[in-house]
């Protein structure tokens, strides 16, 4: 492990934090919340870097009022005009990429190189949806019985409540906001409490890009349950788009059912990464490093269980251990850092619990495996081998830099083990045999499969899971339709 010297003071990397908004963004205005302000902590140093506004139920109602007031005008805005505003959001994000990356890195802790990648990915949702905004086409058909015609158009679904997690503070928000706006909807975004500064910085940017007041509203709160329930009970709200844990997703689905609100759910994952004997070792190691270590393992798509076939097992373990123990661990804002801290002390405690449990059940530690002392929420890159099937980490998201490897022999065996989970978000398969790769891809119960690569996310592709990893898709041509209602008109010509 290679942990850089750490300080208890945050390195703000030249950002003037006082220049960033911390108020609620409602109807284009910055407002104080009714609750007492919430501290934001730099996970690299544990220092408080800002205090943000705290919305209560009445503030949330004001945000819905603003979204409702702006809704008719935005829905009536010509698709081309909406498209041009979205395109401008893309351009401004791209121009300010370095500032946004530093802000993400500071409040989330991720390495700057990961934060830069996130900004580029997040901005692409605006470019992609600028292109989608003018291509939401309907249908015209003759009814099979011949008596009438069927005319189908797509209308904005209505006011949307968007809730996002801390692990991709920019991208999880733009992956919802951009298609919602392309469809003609207005929104209230509630970002994660740990990483609000990016959401607020982006709100200011949208306004500058020409997004009219009230079309995007952003509120932070220390009471997400009551605040969200109040918004979902408002009959004007017609859509909930949530990204976060499966547990909170279940609660919100139950809450949304009371008003029969359309739900898109991007929930937890437990991705298997499978390496067959015939895989190219370098490709598999490179892919595994990306699939496991992007965002220091704090990704829903992170490889959570590595299954390696017996013939390549020893070589794979040796090569992966070498790469993992060479990673530079440090503050995300440090240019040299390759693995930043976890988001909170609680996240580190969870990883420690899962590693201890696996070791108690017989797993072997090849590198890492012990929390360092000092400030910051750090956990070292860790490789475990011989992880038994009953280890808690086989069924639970680790959400950290731990690679648990186990051995397999046959295709049937590994497919059964890969599918033995309530989750079904992403999976990774490495093989030199394309037919086998496609065959395994079809058999694995996941919404997304990466074949001989470590990254699946692409704004032009449908992102989402099956089983308890979620409902609906974001990105591709599917993403914008999550924010539309088909309207059918039967007409006799």
What residues are labeled active site? 266, 300
Q: For ligand NAP, which residue of 167, 174, 198, 295 counts as binding (CB under 6 A)?
A: 167
Q: Is 429 in the site for ligand NAP (CB under 6 A)?
A: no
Q: Is 35 in the site for ligand NAP (CB under 6 A)?
A: no
Q: DSSP of 124-185, one letter per residue? A: HHHHHHHHHHT----EEEE-TTSSSEEEEEEEE--EEEEE--SSSTTHHHHHHHHHHHHHT-
Q: For ligand NAP, which residue of 269, 437, 459, 479 counts as binding (CB under 6 A)?
A: 269
Q: Which listed range, 65-73, 116-124, 224-232, 309-317, lies at the site for ligand NAP (CB under 6 A)?
A: 224-232
CB of 166 to ligand NAP, least distance (A): 5
The Cα 475–Cα 482 span in angstroms is 10
Q: Is 172 in the site for ligand NAP (CB under 6 A)?
A: yes
Q: Is 261 in the site for ligand NAP (CB under 6 A)?
A: no
Q: Is 397 in the site for ligand NAP (CB under 6 A)?
A: yes
Orientation of helix 246-257 relative to helix 224-233, angle to 10°: 30
* C-beta separation of 333 from 105 below 8 A: yes
Tell me the site size for ligand NAP, rule CB under 6 A: 29
Q: For ligand NAP, which residue of 123, 192, 351, 393 counts as binding (CB under 6 A)?
A: 192
Would you say 40 or 308 has its CB closer to ligand NAP?
40
* C-beta separation of 100 from 247 below 8 A: no
The Cα 67–Cα 480 span in angstroms is 18
The Cα 125–Cα 109 span in angstroms is 23
Based on its alpha-carbon atoms, the radius of gyration of the chain, rounded to whole angstroms, reads 23
Q: Is 225 in the site for ligand NAP (CB under 6 A)?
A: yes
CA angle (316 as vertex; 311, 319 as ends), nearest 5: 145
CB of 312 to ligand NAP, least distance (A): 29
**What's 327's DSSP letter?**
P
Q: Is 42 in the site for ligand NAP (CB under 6 A)?
A: no
Q: Is 267 in the site for ligand NAP (CB under 6 A)?
A: yes
* C-beta separation of 261 from 238 below 8 A: yes
The Cα 471–Cα 264 span in angstroms is 5
Neighbours of 386 (CB within 10 A): 16
Q: Is 12 in the site for ligand NAP (CB under 6 A)?
A: no
Q: Which listed range, 57-65, 79-87, 158-166, 437-445, lies at the site for ligand NAP (CB under 6 A)?
A: 158-166
The Cα 382–Cα 356 span in angstroms is 12
Q: Which listed range, 100-108, 248-256, 368-376, 428-436, lies at the site for ligand NAP (CB under 6 A)?
A: 248-256
Orientation of helix 281-293 relative to helix 310-325, angle to 10°: 50
Q: Is 166 in the site for ligand NAP (CB under 6 A)?
A: yes
Tell the residue number behind the tokens 């009814």, with chain if given.
143
Q: For ligand NAP, which residue of 43, 109, 184, 268 counts as binding (CB under 6 A)?
A: 268
Q: For ligand NAP, which residue of 244, 369, 454, 475 counts as binding (CB under 6 A)?
A: 244
Alpha helices in 184-239 (DSSP H): 196-209, 224-233
Q: Is 179 in the site for ligand NAP (CB under 6 A)?
A: no
Counts of helices then strands in the chain (DSSP H, E): 14, 22
CB of 143 to ligand NAP, least distance (A): 39
Would you say 106 or 163 has its CB closer to ligand NAP?
163
**What's 302's DSSP letter?**
S
CB of 189 to ligand NAP, least distance (A): 9
CB of 165 to ligand NAP, least distance (A): 3
Torsion of CA 182, 184, 190, 195, to 10 degrees: 20
By CB neighbour count within 10 A (0-12 exposed, 13-18 middle, 19+ buried), where does 411 fall?
Answer: middle
Q: Which residue is nearest to ligand NAP (CB)?
A: 244
Would you say 164 or 309 has its CB closer to ligand NAP?
164
Q: For ligand NAP, which residue of 28, 210, 224, 395 counts as binding (CB under 6 A)?
A: 224
* C-beta separation of 226 from 233 below 8 A: no
Q: Is 165 in the site for ligand NAP (CB under 6 A)?
A: yes
Q: Is 228 in the site for ligand NAP (CB under 6 A)?
A: yes
Q: For ligand NAP, which residue of 12, 77, 94, 193 counts as binding (CB under 6 A)?
A: 193
Q: For ligand NAP, which residue of 12, 245, 419, 441 counts as binding (CB under 6 A)?
A: 245
* Phi, psi torsion values for 154, nearest 5 degrees: -110, 125
**What's 235's DSSP letter?**
T
Length, in residues, of the chain: 493
Q: Is 459 in the site for ligand NAP (CB under 6 A)?
A: no
Q: Is 472 in the site for ligand NAP (CB under 6 A)?
A: no
Q: Is 10 in the site for ligand NAP (CB under 6 A)?
A: no
Q: Is 154 in the site for ligand NAP (CB under 6 A)?
A: no
Q: Is 266 in the site for ligand NAP (CB under 6 A)?
A: yes
CB of 150 to ligand NAP, least distance (A): 34
* C-beta separation of 474 from 265 below 8 A: no
Q: Residue numbers of the site for ligand NAP (CB under 6 A)?
A: 163-168, 172, 190, 192-194, 224-225, 228, 243-245, 248, 251-252, 266-269, 300, 397, 425, 465, 470
């Amino acid at each position: 492990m290679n942990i850089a010297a750490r300080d208890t003071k945050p390195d703000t990397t030249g950002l003037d934090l006082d220049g960033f908004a911390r108020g609620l963004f409602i109807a284009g205005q910055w407002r104080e919340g009714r609750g007492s302000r919430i501290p934001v902590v730099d996970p690299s140093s544990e220092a408080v870097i800002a205090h943000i506004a705290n919305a209560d139920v009445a503030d949330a109602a004001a945000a819905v009022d603003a979204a409702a007031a702006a809704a008719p005008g935005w829905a009536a805005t010509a698709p081309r005009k909406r498209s041009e505003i979205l395109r401008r959001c893309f351009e401004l994000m791209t121009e300010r990429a370095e500032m946004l990356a530093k802000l993400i890195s500071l409040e989330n802790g991720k390495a700057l190189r990961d934060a830069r990648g996130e900004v580029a990915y997040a901005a692409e949702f605006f470019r992609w949806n600028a292109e989608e905004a003018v291509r939401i086409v309907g249908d015209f058909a003759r009814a099979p019985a011949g008596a009438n015609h069927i005319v189908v158009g797509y209308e904005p679904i209505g006011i949307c409540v968007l809730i996002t997690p801390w692990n991709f503070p920019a991208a999880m928000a733009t992956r919802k906001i951009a298609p919602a706006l392309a469809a003609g909807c207005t929104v209230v975004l509630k970002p994660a409490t740990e990483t609000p500064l990016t959401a607020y910085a982006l709100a200011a940017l949208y306004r500058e890009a020409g997004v009219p007041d009230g079309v995007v509203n952003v509120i932070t709160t220390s009471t997400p349950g009551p605040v969200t329930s109040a918004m979902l009970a408002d009959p004007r709200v017609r859509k909930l788009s949530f990204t976060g844990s499966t547990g909170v997703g279940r609660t919100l689905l139950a809450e949304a059912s009371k008003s029969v609100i359309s739900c898109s759910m991007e929930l937890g994952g437990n991705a298997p990464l499978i390496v067959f004997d015939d895989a190219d070792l370098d490709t598999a190691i490179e892919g595994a490093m990306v699939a496991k270590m992007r965002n220091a393992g704090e990704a829903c798509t992170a490889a959570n269980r590595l299954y390696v076939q017996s013939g390549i097992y020893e070589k794979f373990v040796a090569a992966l251990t070498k790469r993992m123990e060479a990673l530079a661990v440090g503050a995300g804002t440090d240019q040299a850092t390759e693995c930043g801290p976890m988001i909170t002390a609680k996240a580190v405690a969870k990883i420690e619990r899962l590693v201890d449990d696996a070791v108690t059940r017989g797993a072997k530690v090849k590198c890492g495996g012990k929390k360092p002392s000092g400030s910051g929420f750090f956990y070292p890159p860790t490789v475990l081998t011989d992880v038994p099937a009953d280890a808690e980490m086989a069924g639970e998201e680790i959400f950290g830099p731990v690679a648990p490897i186990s051995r397999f022999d046959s295709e049937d065996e590994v497919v059964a083990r890969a599918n033995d989970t309530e989750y079904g978000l992403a999976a990774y398969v490495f093989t030199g045999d394309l037919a086998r790769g496609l065959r395994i891809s079809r058999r694995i119960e996941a919404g997304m499969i990466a074949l001989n690569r470590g990254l699946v996310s692409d704004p032009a592709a449908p992102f989402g899971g099956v089983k308890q990893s979620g409902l609906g898709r974001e990105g591709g041509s599917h993403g914008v339709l999550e924010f539309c209602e088909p309207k059918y008109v039967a007409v006799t010509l």
